[in-house]
Structure 1
């Protein structure tokens, strides 16, 4: 399964993107802002290609997608949330129907999680 995240709007406190699964639009994303110098829990991860696995999150106490080998970052997950304050460097999924926020994030995440759980293929995410 190939997930593609195309970042489309960089703002002072957040980044908005579009998430595609195997080339088909799936949802919008919200991340921290892009910075030249990383500020922990306030910076989006570098563009690139990463393997994704599903494992137990100590923070969320449930199975969740985890991006592997992100340079300079650890514990980067895809999860639900509505504002940049909820990201902590991770990728939030939902609908960008309010400026700088996501709606329907929990339902969007659950739909994405079902797709990730159902695939037997290797999962990668390409971020640009």
Structure 2
């Protein structure tokens, strides 16, 4: 059984709402771009599949997250091994316009004008981050992404 799963549960006009499970338990909501057959750079969520997870301490986002979360941050949680994608991080944000292909964390969600948003993103990130870091350190560095709608 895979310890980490992203289960997509709903689609908006330009957004996809997911649940993140760690160790079989619901952790937080995730917001992604639309599901598309053909990738449009920065506007398409990652395809279904199984991928690697790692801590990326060198990407540009570390410059913001390191000082903002000095006791928490050890590198961006990166989803790796995705064909035709690179630098896909689980990070803070509220709207599909902020994803650029990355999953955004949320404590709860709402639907507005046909699209989903996630809210209280920083709180969800601070809860999720150490759990994912622990799983990566234990060798559970795989995530399964499934569409379930």
* TM-score, structure 1 as length reference: 0.92
- The structure 1 segments of at least 4 consecutive aligned residues displaced by more than 4 Å after TM superposition are none
Who is 1:36 aligned against?
A: 37
Unaligned runs of 5+ in 1: none
Structure number with larger C-alpha Rg: 2
- Bigger fraction of residues in strand: 1
Match of 2:143 in 1: 125
Higher mean Cα deviation, 93-102 or 6-15? Answer: 93-102
Give the TM-score normalised by the residue count of structure 2: 0.80
1: CA distance between counterparts of 2:108 and 2:40?
24
Q: CA RMSD in A?
A: 1.5
Verify the 8 A CA contact 2:107 2:123 in the aligned structure 1: no
Q: Describe the superposition over 1:46-85 as per-residue Cα deviations: whole angstroms up to 9, x where unpaired.
A: 1111110012252212411001110111111111100001
Deviation, structure 1 residue 33: 0.2
Q: Which residue in 2 is equivalent to 1:116?
A: 132
**For this pair of structures, how many residues does the alignment match?**
128
